[in-house]
Amino acid sequence: MVNKDFFLALDELEATKGIKKEFFIEALESALVAAYKKNFGESKAVAVKLNPEKNTIRVYAYKTVVETVEDEDTQISLEEAKQIKKSYKVGDLVQEEITPKEFGRIAAGTAKQVVTQKLREAERDNAFAEMNEKLETLTTVIVRRVENGTVYMELAGTQIEGIMLPNDQIPNEKYTVNSRIKVVIKKLRDNMRGVQALVSRAVPNFVKLLFKTEIPEIASGLVEIKGCSREAGYRTKIAVYCADENVDPVGACVGNKGMRINQIVAELAGEKIDIIEYSDDATEYIARALSPATVVSVYVNEDTKTSRVVVPDDKLSLAIGKNGQNVRLAARLTGWKIDVKSQSVASQMELNEHVDIDTTNIDDLFTSVDLDDLEG
């Protein structure tokens, strides 16, 4: 059966969709076998062969050569086989073409269903592979609807649906239909509705990617982000470092008159950001992490990764932060457990003489970045 138009259609799919026609042919051969048996009720061992070079679709029945025939549909005696071809021996397969004249109509209908299904699968697989490369990257999306606190969106330039659950949203941020926002792709899932992307604006990586976008020195690798801790909608602490002593990593992130940091703060709906210069010295790093509070001294225990920080009495509440937020973020950033004490309390406490500790006076170790001053 010759069907030139059918194979031309496969060539066109390969050219326009970038999907190899062999992908369709294998599936079509299996589907056409099922279609043949359904329409003609054959119990024979049947195979359908598609030949793109000759533009043909043919149906073949196969019988195994045996000494004694027990199933006439699937077996043929050695004597009968030798009448067809003298070289046949027991165990060989005898092939016979049985292509029905009306099989063309059946093949066309089956092919349409299979191609449609396989095309959908291939496009989904391609979309999944493409989006998989964008995991943990910053992406622009278009808000399509908001239902029960969940934001549904379309990833710009694709047909992929993005989903932002309530815990991945910046608290108190409003999302309007058709607005464009930036998100980070956390995870992909493939279900009956196709490929979906779970996205977020609340994870610390979202802030890190914004810094990489807005700060050329970070994008180029000159300035490195060493750590980031965040409570979305309220405060972020980010530690930056530069091996070049001539480059101020904090200043590079703040920008001229705060231009760079203000861009990031605006994207985060006013979230406060403490930019901290990273240090290999744990005492310095912990002190800086408690910005904007002033620190008098830091005591650290390397074995237990615990520290005690002494601050002026009038800076205790600032160091701890509302509901412990500042010290909690500092602990996450540094990886150290931090116990903050006021000077008056610390002076009355006896330090454990059996703990090997390192004490550093660091009144002027760092300068905190006051975003309120930058906005002015």
The pLDDT, as a whole number, for residue 3 is 66
pLDDT tens for 201-237 read 999 999 999 999 999 999 999 999 999 999 999 999 9
Decide: helix, strand or coil at residue 216.
Answer: helix
Residue 318's CATH number: 3.30.300.20
Are 210 and 351 found together in one domain?
yes
The pLDDT, as a whole number, for residue 159 is 73
pLDDT tens for 87-114 read 999 999 888 777 777 776 777 777 777 7
Are 225 and 358 found together in one domain?
yes
* 8 A C-beta contact, residue 185 and residue 141: no
Are 156 and 209 found together in one domain?
no
What is the residue whose two structure tokens read 């326009």?
A: 16
pLDDT tens for 160-211 read 889 999 999 999 899 999 999 999 999 888 777 777 889 999 999 999 999 9
Are 256 and 292 found together in one domain?
yes
Closest CA to 277 of 373, 367, 370: 367
Are 162 and 242 found together in one domain?
no
205 CB-near residues (< 8 Å, 6+ apart):
136, 184, 228
Are 144 and 128 found together in one domain?
no
Q: In whole numbers, what is the pLDDT of the chain averaged over residues?
A: 84
Are 71 and 144 found together in one domain?
no
Are 9 and 120 found together in one domain?
yes
The residue among 132, 152, 176 that closes a domain is 132
Range of the domain at 115: 4-132
Q: Specify the long-range contacts of residues 266-269, CB closer than 8 Å, at least 24 apart.
A: 267/182, 267/210, 268/170, 268/207, 268/210, 268/233, 268/236, 269/170, 269/172, 269/173, 269/233
Residue 144's CATH number: 2.40.50.140
pTM score: 0.66
The pLDDT, as a whole number, for residue 230 is 97
Are 219 and 354 found together in one domain?
yes
Residue 46's CATH number: 3.30.1480.10
368, pLDDT greater than 50: no
* 8 A C-beta contact, residue 196 and residue 187: no
The residue among 110, 132, 154 that closes a domain is 132
Closest CA to 271 of 170, 183, 166: 170
The strand pairing partners of 63, in sequence order, are 94
Looking at the 3D structure of the chain, how many domains does it have?
Answer: 3
Are 148 and 184 found together in one domain?
yes
The residue among 156, 171, 198 that closes a domain is 198
Are 215 and 333 found together in one domain?
yes
Are 321 and 336 found together in one domain?
yes
CA distance 79 to 61: 19
